């Protein structure tokens, strides 16, 4: 069995691991007595960053535009996550990653919502730039090396693969979460961290589609809604998120569903059923909607209710493009829930009809939440408990010389480039801190 010895070993070459290597390399150039440190990055796949390739639907939403504090506030609604990530986000900012990409020829643009993408809209360009940056470091890069076990004995870490053994003075774990396991994020690092003494918050689905029972009707599959509010109710508890929504074969997806899945993941699935509803007009109060129906009935008494609902979809359209809230094909389904005959003229609507109609528009029942496919989430929530990691260094508070970064940690960001930024920032800080730790020994 081949044995080799290093000062820093990074396990997992996703964005967190790649930036841990870049952060360490940067630190060796500025921290006294660290120039000769031997750093190794080990990845089980044949290439780094498989998740970057599939990110943002193949376009890669690299990061989010704006001040660091805004990124933390908008990207991490759980304040303890935002607080934990704060030092890392200031240490390596969204501007820093864009400057790095720019240095390697990747220009970027941002959408009106602040999401930043490569101008080419190709995630491969982003990954290639990161790979080029890594090639310029002193770090030794090794692929197709799956770490199968980690031990700590007398101040040294021993890492085992099928064929080799690696020994290191410090260890950075950056093995990711457990969603999309086919990309390599299979949760190995969680087992290693546990073995080394850490407590793990059980992973739950986040930013995933929501599977429903019953599944959407065939005629609804593929329909999308704009700026609606999706609401989950379990007994007294309700959680809701606003955004676009898409009906799929098994349930719902799109930004509103993905964001809400993180909140649903925190509910107790065994407590009682979780019902899912849509509010098509979250910005309009029931009274205002009722007044508008009455107003339209005075203006066009013979207009059929079906036509009014088509008009409503445009009247209440939000956003710059003002696309209709729901497609026309959904009108029949809304009317079916309201139990109103589609051809009924407005002047024949009773108070009770209006009440039922408003219910169908503001509390359109989708069905029961059947499951959240954890493995299909953009991220997984849960991971190494944040109170066991020093946010200023990413060092373990349990074991000296151990560092943890990226999605392996128990934080979960929103959609919008925040999760990749968290991986770069925590990775960079972990790499830099490991170098400082060794230089001070």
Ligand X SMILES: Cc1cc2nc3c(=O)[nH]c(=O)nc-3n(C[C@H](O)[C@H](O)[C@H](O)COP(=O)(O)OP(=O)(O)OC[C@H]3O[C@@H](n4cnc5c(N)ncnc54)[C@H](O)[C@@H]3O)c2cc1C
Residues within the interface to ligand X (CB under 6 A): 11-17, 42-45, 50-51, 54-56, 60-61, 146-147, 174-176, 179-180, 184-186, 188-189, 378-379, 406-408, 417-420, 423
Cβ atoms within 10 Å, residue 55:
21
Q: Which residue has the tokens 């107790």?
A: 268
Q: How far is the CB of 224 from ligand X (least distance, A)?
A: 19
DSSP letters, 360-382, are HHHSEEEEEEEE--GGGSSEEEE
Q: Min. distance of Cβ 421 from ligand X in angstroms?
A: 6
Pairwise CA distance, residues 86 & 97, whole Å: 16
State in angstroms the smallest separation of the CB of 285 from ligand X.
35
Least gap, CB of 206 to ligand X (angstroms): 10
If the CB atoms of residues 274 and 394 are measured against ligand X, the closer one turns out to be 394
Which one, 282 or 427, has the nearer CB to ligand X? 427
Nearest distance in Å: CB 6, ligand X: 15
d(CA 247, CA 329): 12
Smallest distance, ligand X to C-beta of residue 34, A:
24
User: How many C-beta atoms surround the C-beta of residue 138 within 10 A?
Assistant: 14
- The CB-of-419 to ligand X minimum distance in angstroms stands at 3
Residue placing its CB nearer to ligand X in the complex, 163 or 218: 163
Nearest to 209 by CA among 261, 267, 161: 261
Contact 437, 401 (CB under 8 A): yes
CA angle 83, 94, 35 (to 5 degrees): 90
Q: Residue 424, SS3?
A: helix
Q: Which residue, 253 or 313, is less far from ligand X as judged by CB? A: 253
We find the least distance from the C-beta atom of residue 345 to ligand X, in angstroms, to be 48
Kindly tell me which of 192 and 437 has the beta carbon lying closer to ligand X: 192
**Least spacing, CB of residue 422 vs ligand X, in Å:** 7
- Nearest distance from residue 310's CB to ligand X, in Å? 34
Residue number, 92 or 418, with CB nearest to ligand X: 418
d(CA 439, CA 420): 29
Reference 125, options 109, 138, 145; nearest CA is 109
Closer to ligand X at the Cβ: 44 or 396?
A: 44
Pick from 437, 441, 433: which is nearest to 20 by CA? 433
Tokens representing 275 are 């019902």
Residue 216 or 427: the one with the smaller Cβ distance to ligand X is 427
Q: Which residues contact 12 (CB under 8 A, 6 or more apart)?
A: 42, 43, 173, 174, 175, 176, 184, 189, 406, 408
The percent helix, strand, coil of the chain (3-state, each to 5) is: 40, 25, 35
Confirm if 83 and 411 have CB atoms less than 8 A apart: no
Q: Which is nearer to ligand X, 309 or 384 (CB)?
A: 384
Output 25 or 188, the one with its CB closest to ligand X: 188
Residue from 2, 10, 1 nearest 157 by CA? 10
Tokens 């934080």 correspond to 411
């Amino acid at each position: 069995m081949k044995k080799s010895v290093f000062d820093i070993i990074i396990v997992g070459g996703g964005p967190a691991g790649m930036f841990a290597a870049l952060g360490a390399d940067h630190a060796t150039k500025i921290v006294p007595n660290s120039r000769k440190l031997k750093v190794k990055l080990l990845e089980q796949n044949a290439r780094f960053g498989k998740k970057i390739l599939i990110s943002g639907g193949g376009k890669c939403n690299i990061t989010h535009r704006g001040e660091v504090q805004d990124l933390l506030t908008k990207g991490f609604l759980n304040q303890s996550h935002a607080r934990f990530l704060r030092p890392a986000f200031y240490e390596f900012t969204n501007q820093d990653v864009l400057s790095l990409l720019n240095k390697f020829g990747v220009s970027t643009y941002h959408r009106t919502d602040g999401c930043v993408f490569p101008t080419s809209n190709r995630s491969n360009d982003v990954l290639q730039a990161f790979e080029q940056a890594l090639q310029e470091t002193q770090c030794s890069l090794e692929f197709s090396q799956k770490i199968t076990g980690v031990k700590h004995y007398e101040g040294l870490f021993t890492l085992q693969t099928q064929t080799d053994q690696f020994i290191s003075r410090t260890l950075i774990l950056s093995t990711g979460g457990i969603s999309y396991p086919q990309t390599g994020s299979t949760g190995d690092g969680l087992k290693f961290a546990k073995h080394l003494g850490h407590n793990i918050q059980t992973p739950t689905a986040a930013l995933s589609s929501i599977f429903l029972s019953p599944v959407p009707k065939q005629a609804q599959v593929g329909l999308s809604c704009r700026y609606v509010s999706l609401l989950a109710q379990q007994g007294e508890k309700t959680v809701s998120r606003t955004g676009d929504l898409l009906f799929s074969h098994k349930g719902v997806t799109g930004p509103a569903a993905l964001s809400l899945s993180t909140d649903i993941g925190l509910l107790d699935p065994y407590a009682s059923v979780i019902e899912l509803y849509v509010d098509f007009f979250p910005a309009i109060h029931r009274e205002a909607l009722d007044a508008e129906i009455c107003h339209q009935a005075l203006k066009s008494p013979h207009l059929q209710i079906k036509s009014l609902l088509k008009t409503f979809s445009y009247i209440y359209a939000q956003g710059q493009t003002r696309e209709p809230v729901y497609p026309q094909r959904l009108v029949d389904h809304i009317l079916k829930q309201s139990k109103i005959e589609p051809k009924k003229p407005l002047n024949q609507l009773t108070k009770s009809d209006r009440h039922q109609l408003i219910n169908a528009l503001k509390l359109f029942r989708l069905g029961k939440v059947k499951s959240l496919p954890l493995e299909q989430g953009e991220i997984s929530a849960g991971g190494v408990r944040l109170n066991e990691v020093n946010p200023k260094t990413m060092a373990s508070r349990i074991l000296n010389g151990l560092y943890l970064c990226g999605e392996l940690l128990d934080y979960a960001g929103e959609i919008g480039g925040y999760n990749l930024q968290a991986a770069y920032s925590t990775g960079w800080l972990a790499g830099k801190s490991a170098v400082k730790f060794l230089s001070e020994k």
